[in-house]
Structure 1
Amino acid sequence: MNQETQPHAPSHTPELRRTLGTWHLWAIAVGLVISGEYFGWSLGWSQAGTLGFGITTIFVSLMFTAFIFSFTELSTSIPQAGGPFAYARLAFGDTGGYFAGMATLVQYVLTPPTIALAIGGYLAFQFKGLDPKTAALGAYLVFMGLNIVGVQIAATFELVITVFAIFELLVFMGVVAPGFSFTNFAANGWAGSEHFGGAAIAGMFAAIPFAVWFFGCIDGVAMAAEEAKTPSRSIPRAYIGAIVTLVVLAIGVMVFAGGVGDWRQIANKDAPLPEAMKLVVGENSGWLHMMVWLGLGGLVASFHGIILGYSRQIYAQARDGYLPPSLAHVSRRFKTPHRAILAGGIVGIAMIYGVSWIAKGGADEVMFDIAVLSVMGMMAMYGISMLALFRLRRIAPDLPRSYRAPGYPYVPAFALFGIVVSLISMAVSYPILFSFFCVILVIGYAGFRVSRNHRTVTTGNAPAID
């Protein structure tokens, strides 16, 4: 591997502190995703029916499993806070780094406002008169502060709240189990028909973006790689444990929720789990009230974890000159990228208030569009990462690989195939949003090329392969 393809190693001080163990990383991976077990996915029933969406979920589960087994090779070989940005830059040079970095920023900066508003909406429901935007602002301030004071404190909190959220999902399955019937689950199970056919296939294709909700953002452990004690061992264990945890929870939640009654009453609800539980225990049950209250845990776990993820991505890109270098500053006291944490938070808070002001009552629809854009960024980044894995195997055979993707090249190829299918699904289902996403990338790339000379001078790094 020549000089231009060497991984960038951070040289400034102070650096990020290595304090995270396997359980911390597992909690980050699961916590980033677990809010998707509580809401969003049930819209896939409307597209494909329970049986059709079940097949879609199995396909997406296999795709994410193949992706994680492959992505782990990159995370352990190049344990940098930039994650996908670092892998693509090493594999494809500045241009690859830009597209992977921009896609990751779209994913991680656009997701928190939607979750913060969900937290705000929930609190406003519990405390009448509370403005959801004010509650969302409070969530940002609290969890940005928690991330600034230390990564170990933040990761420990993530571990506790993630275990709490998993416990709640297990409680849900246990409470509704007596009312479960596969006959209920299978009734009207195919989109547009009682039987499998062309409409069912089209519905399964359209439902892919909603199945992604079960697993999206699991890649976030890569952003904490520079803060892992022994990344070569802890990252594989965390990732494999996380994907197993999430697959089991996704299948369990979906099957139990769909089998307790007429699932069509639940399909378009914002909170499918309380609605499913209501069919079993009634509206006045203490179990139902507990489920509604504890549902906040999953949202908090994901929101808190994504703040950690976006801040490390901003920090890494700023460190390499892709963003203003001042955002790469690390707190001497806490050893956390506090400016990156604040920068992403400011953008998110501005979006919450800006969307509410511009939409004039249609904020929910706009925030849903923002959430879809974030998924597009995620899948684009996943695709670039898999391409980087193939290229680095060829151009950097001597790169240290303490973990190697099993079943290479077939497992990564299947992951890439699933990612491409998912992107096509979103392009077909949301053509305007997909076009807007492409415009964001193109306009950003134009500015990126214009600033290339300045970036090379300020960072002191020769451009990588381009």
Structure 2
Amino acid sequence: METATKPVNEFVARLGLLDATMIVAGSMIGSGIFIVAAEVTRSVGGAGWMLAMWLLAGLVTVIAAVSYGELAAMFPRAGGQYVYLREAYNPLVGFLYGWSFFAVIQTGTIAAVGVAFAKFTAYLIPAFSDTNFLLDLGFFRLSAAQLVSIFVIVLLTYVNSRGVKEGAALQTFLTIVKLLSLFGLIICGFIWGAKADVWNANWQNAWHLASLTKNGDALSYTTLSALGAFGAIAIAMKGTLFSSDSWHSITSIAGEVKRPERNIGLSLVLGTLVVTVIYVLTNLMYLAVVPLNDIAFAPSDRVGVVAADYIFGNSGTIIIALMVMISTFGCNNGLILSGARVYYIMAKDGLFFRKAGQLNQNDVPGYSLWMQCLWASVLCLTGEYNNLLALVIFGVLIFYILTILGIYRLRRLQPDLPRPYKAPGYPYLPAVYVVIALALAVLLLFFETKYTLPGLGIILAGIPIYYWLIRQPD
């Protein structure tokens, strides 16, 4: 797949502020905004609590983003969070992040987003359904949706192997399209779909914290208190936070951004703010258009489809399917573009396949891109990508916490290191993120043990791999 390798491996800065901002926003917006509101509503019950979960997730994400800006300005080169953890702590901590990133976090997300694209494509072309099995060997089944998801991953990998400008141009176009589409859906919802009686009914008992269950047509509310209330909030926040995840993707390609000491931090702030506003407005629109029970128990959790049916009638499904296809396609492009740079830097450190540390004739890490493509495609075939992704939720939070704490550590250990941008509100604002994320991690450890403990096991499995790698001859 590679025809030439540059004799000198150096990234070329070709991306401006708009490109960087669109990578941030585009990597964040996938299919979550069309789905997650259902689980959130079932977990917390009231409209007020449901909206509060999105507001809190947005606040936490923006705080993390403005804090990461300091690290991005200090280390304006490829690698992102891997580099920050390596510099703030030691190579082992950085590797554990990079190992988890390749094994599940990034590749599992790419696989899951690819299959989401395929599932919504099946609305338009039923032959691409995940129930249309092209091969059934008993122990292994291959569906049309899996093939479509792999095709999309391969296609986007090819586009990004042609150069960062090509990948970024596609990302900017797709992100602008999906931002305009979401704004259009919000406006149409408020103009044509909103009903005063639905809005008023949804806001009755808005702050009654309760879990919702459904048995046939019968609905039941279970009032939550004490530890159960914190558990419900943690489960709800899991969905809203990870609908906003991948906001730090731009830090992985800092070496290809013009004026990275300025544009990385600014793009993080602008991108996360734009997405937070859109997410909150979208959920306000849901509450104005769709009865709360229909949000909570939307078929297959597809709240966006239900809302579109209320707004546009029978054509709503087609409209949402197209929006999700555009959204997930753009999201995967951003993930594929940024992820490969992490493996590139790991390879330069001797902690990944050596070939991944080479740039091709287009000044991008071609081998790294195709390795990522191969493993993400394998995860598509396993059918277990969503479960794998759930396993690392706890670990992802831990790495975020460690990275933010790294700001404090670096200020103490390397006070003279140039800091063109400093985290606003330091030391208090970053501490807010650490406290909230740590509380969420502890609650998930308690309430989601079946995912958090195995997820922690995946991360810790990287320790023997690390010591094996550093003992290998150069």
Q: Secondary structure at the match of 1:107?
A: helix
Q: Which of residues 340, 355, 365 in structure 1 aligns to 2:368?
A: 340
The reply to whether residue 435 of structure 1 matches residue 449 of structure 2 is no
The answer on whether the counterparts of 1:31 and 1:162 sit within 8 Å (CA) in structure 2 is: yes
SS in structure 1 opposite 2:289? Answer: coil
1:327 to 356, 366, 369: 356
- Segment drifting more, 256-265 vs 115-124: 256-265
- Residue 21 (structure 1) aligns with: 16
Partners of 1:180 and 1:15 lie apart in 2 by 57
Which letter maps to 1:185?
A: N
What residue number does 1:259 align with?
288
| Aligned 8 A contact 1:329 1:338 in 2 | yes
Q: How do residues 24-423 of structure 1 correspond to structure 2 at under 5 angstroms?
A: 24-35=19-30, 36-49=32-45, 50-105=47-102, 106-130=104-128, 131-178=144-191, 179-181=194-196, 182-187=199-204, 189=206, 190-192=209-211, 193=221, 197-198=225-226, 200-268=229-297, 269-282=300-313, 284-285=314-315, 288-331=317-360, 333-355=361-383, 366-423=384-441
Higher mean alpha-carbon deviation, 32-41 vs 164-173, is at 32-41
Q: Distance in 2 between matches of 1:83 and 1:367?
A: 24
TM-score by length of 2: 0.86
| AA aligned opposite 1:273 | G
SS in 2 for 1:207: helix
Match of 1:358 in 2: none
Counterpart amino acid of 2:105? Q
**After alignment, is 127-136 or 419-428 more displaced?**
419-428
Distance (whole Å) between structure 2 residues aligned to residue 320 and residue 12 of structure 1: 18
Letter in 2 for 1:159: T
1:412 is displaced (CA, Å) by: 0.9
| 1:337 positional shift | 0.4
CA distance in 2, matches of 1:380, 1:152: 33
Residue 136 of structure 2 aligns with which residue? none
Query: Identity over the aligned pairs, expressed in percent?
Result: 19
Give SS of 1:129's match.
helix
Q: Is the 8 A contact 2:53 2:237 kept in 1?
A: yes
Q: Distance in 2 between matches of 1:183 and 1:15?
A: 58
- 2:461 partner SS: helix
Greater alpha carbon shift after TM alignment, 188-197 vs 214-223: 188-197
Q: 1:180, CA displacement in angstroms?
A: 4.5
Aligned-pair distance for 1:135?
Answer: 0.7
Deviates more, 1:426-435 or 1:142-151: 426-435
Q: TM-score, normalised by structure 1?
A: 0.88
Deviations 1:165-223 (A, max 9, x none): 11111111111114154323324643245988545554223211011133111011100
Q: Give the superposition deviation at 1:391.
A: 0.6
| 1:368–1:341 CA distance, 2 compared to 1 (3 A) | same
Partners of 1:446 and 1:12 lie apart in 2 by 33
Cα gap change, 1:329 to 1:252, in 2 (>3 Å): same
Tell me how large the CA RMSD over aligned residues is.
2.1
Please give the alpha-carbon distance, in whole angstroms, between the structure 2 residues aligned to 1:45 and 1:109. Answer: 29
Q: Distance in 2 between matches of 1:197 and 1:339?
A: 52
SS in 2 for 1:135: helix
SS at match of 1:407: coil
Once the two structures are overlaid, the 10-residue window that deviates more, 338-347 or 430-439, is: 430-439
Letter in 1 for 2:167: A
Q: Which runs of no fewer than 5 residues in structure 2 stay unpaired?
A: 1-5, 129-143, 212-220
Letter matched to residue 183 of structure 1 = N
1:37/1:249 contact within 8 Å kept: no
Residues 41 and 214, structure 1, Cα contact 8 Å, conserved in 2: no
Worse-superposed segment, 219-228 or 209-218: 209-218
Distance 2:420 2:359 in 1: 29
Provide the secondary structure at the position in 1 that maps to 2:127. Answer: coil
Please show how residues 4-19 of structure 1 align to structure 2 within 5 Å. Answer: 13-19=8-14
Asked whether the equivalents of residues 98 and 448 of structure 1 are also in contact (C-alpha less than 8 Å), the reply is yes
More moved, 21-30 vs 196-205:
196-205
Letter in 2 for 1:121: K
- Give 1:279 shift: 2.3
**Contact residue 111 and residue 380 of structure 2 kept, 8 A:** yes
- Distance, in Å, in 1 between the alignment partners of 2:101 and 2:427 is 24
Q: Distance in 1 between the 2:309 and 2:389 partners? A: 28
Q: CA deviation at 1:117?
A: 0.8
Aligned residues of 1:175 and 1:277 also touching (Cα < 8 A): no
Whole-angstrom distance in 2 between the partners of 1:380 and 1:102: 14
